[in-house]
Structure 1
Amino acid sequence: MLSANARREEIYHLAVTTGLASVEELSARFEVTASTIRRDLALLNSQGRLARTYGGAMALGAHPEASLRQRTGEAFEQKHAIARWAAAVIVPGESILLDAGSTVGALAHELQKFEKLSVTTPGLNIMQELADSDRIEVDCIGGRLRSVSQSFVGPLAEAALERMSFDRVFLGADAVTADDGICEADHAQTRLKELMARRGNHVYVLADSTKLGLRPFHAWARLALPWTLVTDDGAEPEQVRKFVDAGIKVELAEVAKTAATGPAADQDHRQGNNPSARPYSVE
């Protein structure tokens, strides 16, 4: 049985040589629990040696940025639970800003049931989700297209946002920390996210629990308080507490609970209620 330090060095070596390591494979290889491996990966990530992924870790630089298509299939249930929570706080008739990304894309899918809404977005996936809805007004922010994220960034997008304001802003993230905010692969993305946040009355960051506390890249969007982190109920309590202690409101979307349907669910949406989520509180 290897010592903890020796095991972590071996995990790092495997990730560097193979590019990717999964929790299940590492747990079986070292004959320790998955929880132990997750703690090892979290420590290696905090040391800047590995980048966490859904279900494992990768060597920094091995896969610099996953495409939108790749990310859409990761943490699928968690992302859709978060999307249901976010949709439930929106009031029909509001003007909202949707960032690009897979989790915000899941929110756009939820919005198709709305009768009246004004949506602005730089994301091609958001536009595609809402393109067939004649009840939702969609404004597209142009600019330079980042093919990997399928979204527009740059001076043209920023100039357009300067002339707009929104009731609610929903941001995606490659990762998010309590002290530095949103982590992204590209500085143009972080500049745009900071501007988005400044243009909204209510700001939400939608990030599943695998993204909390990670630092896979070196571009950051710093968000002024107040803002709300919406994550899933699989988030580790110590990670959530860091956000709460920093003055950030945290909402946990319940993954296991099936979304309500029928007239009762419609009433919940009209009144802004969400039976499938709960706020995090410090005891």
Structure 2
Amino acid sequence: MGMSARGRRREIVELAHTTGLASVEELSQRFEVTASTIRRDLARLTSEGKIARTYGGAMALSGRVGESTFRQRNQEAAEAKRAMARLAVGMVDDGDTVLLDAGSSVAALAVELRDRVTVSVATSSLVVVEELADADDIHVECLGGTLRHQSQGFVGPLAEAALERMTADKVFLGADGVAPGAICEADQRQTRLKEMMCARAHRIVVLADATKLGHAPFHAWALLPEGWTLVTDDSATEEQLRPFRDAGVDVHVAGVEAAVAPE
């Protein structure tokens, strides 16, 4: 007799916490049941608050109680964010139009962009606007909309309407959690805006330090199309990075020591 449904679901939770990520296909093969059975298991475990669903699988909930403020996030992994920003700015070419998402990692990139005088920036981030307000040679467009105080970013119909009139060479996104095919946020208005940004840009770059990889602190998700780029920091382990590389994600790892070395 095979494993009971209760035992299978218990092991699924353990796997999600151990490996960080688990796909429907892998779970189906492991437990020798159909993919539809696994999907029902995942739906039940999600409703019970034991895991978070991703597109195509499941991941462990990180246990965060609530969304932290931008100021709090800006103080977390500061050296890693600086390193990622210095790496990511090298992906911006002269004459580019770039979309900048809200978030502390993307705000760090805005600091690095101040010297790129031939770049145009469109952003949903109040912090980015403030950072570039006195960079006279950078053309800045603000999407506008409803301000989310927690993220210091604009969301909603007005921001979405502004995006519909734009295209960009690159978009740089932040995230509360990252899976190989999607990014996690606290608010569905944020995830909708991120998906629209992806649709308006030729290249998609996600800035996420190692603590974000394989974690799902919330239940709102934005799908990422194939061929996107991940920029993370060098505290990420190979076990964390392998699912992304296996999914065809272009992975770039920033060295933190190089970013904080004295000039």
TM range (shorter): 0.7 to 0.9
TM-score normalised to structure 2 length: 0.76
The answer on whether the counterparts of 1:49 and 1:59 sit within 8 Å (CA) in structure 2 is no
| Contact map agreement 1:78 1:255 (CA 8 A) in 2 | yes
Say yes or no: does 1:248 pair with 2:249: yes
Secondary structure of the residue aligned to 2:253 is strand
Q: Which residues in structure 2 correspond to 1:1-150 (within 5 Å)? A: 42-43=17-18, 59-60=63-64, 62=65, 64-150=66-152
- In 2, distance between residues paired with 1:157 and 1:210? 29
Matches within 5 A, 1:110-259: 110-179=112-181, 181-258=182-259
SS of structure 1 residue aligned to 2:240: helix
Question: Aligned equivalents of 1:154 and 1:222: distance in 2?
Answer: 18
CA contact 2:188–2:220 (8 Å) conserved in 1: yes
What is the distance in 1 between the residues matched to 2:237 and 2:97? Answer: 33
Q: Secondary structure at the match of 1:113?
A: coil
- The whole-number CA distance in structure 1 between the counterparts of 2:166 and 2:257 is 37
Q: Alignment identity in percent?
A: 52
Give 1:195 deviation, angstroms.
0.5
Measured against aligned partners, the alpha-carbon deviations of 1:157-200 in whole angstroms (never above 9, x if no partner) come to 11111110001110010110114x10000000000000001111
Q: Deviations over 1:106-162 (max 9, x none)?
A: 000011111221000010000011000101000000111111111110111111111
Q: 1:113/1:260 Cα in 2 relative to 1: closer, same or farther (>3 Å)?
A: farther
Alignment partners' CA distance in 1, 2:261 and 2:129: 26
Q: Are the aligned partners of 1:44 and 1:50 in contact in 2 as well (CA < 8 Å)?
A: no
CA contact (8 A) 1:68 1:101 kept: yes
Deviation at 1:258, TM superposition (A): 3.9
TM-score (norm 1): 0.71
Distance 1:159 1:69, change over 3 A: same
Aligned with 1:86: secondary structure? helix
Deviation at 1:94, TM superposition (A): 0.9
Distance 1:71 1:45, change over 3 A: same
Is this contact kept in 2: 1:50–1:58, CA < 8 A? no
- The answer for unaligned runs of 5 or more in structure 1 is 1-38, 52-56, 263-283
CA distance in structure 1 between the aligned counterparts of 2:153 and 2:143, rounded to whole angstroms:
9
Q: Partner letter of residue 102 of structure 2? A: A
Change (3 A) 1:235 1:42: farther
Report runs of 4+ in structure 1 exceeding 2 Å deviation.
Answer: 39-51, 57-60, 258-262
How many pairs were matched up? Answer: 216
For 1:24, the equivalent position in structure 2 comes to none
The answer for the alignment partner of 1:34 in structure 2 is none
AA aligned to 1:205 is V
Q: Structure 1 residue 260: deviation in Å?
A: 9.0
* Cα distance, 1:231 vs structure 2: 0.4
5+ residue gaps, structure 2, are 1-13, 22-44, 53-60
One-letter identity of the residue aligned with 2:216: R
Amino acid at match of 2:258: K
Q: What SS class does the counterpart of residue 197 from structure 2 fall into?
A: helix
Contact (CA 8 Å) 2:79, 2:260: kept in 1 or not? no
Q: SS state of the match for residue 114, structure 2?
A: helix
In the TM superposition, residue 43 of structure 1 has moved relative to its aligned partner by 3.6
Counterpart residue number, 2:58: none
Output the CA distance in 2 between the equivalents of 1:153 and 1:106: 20
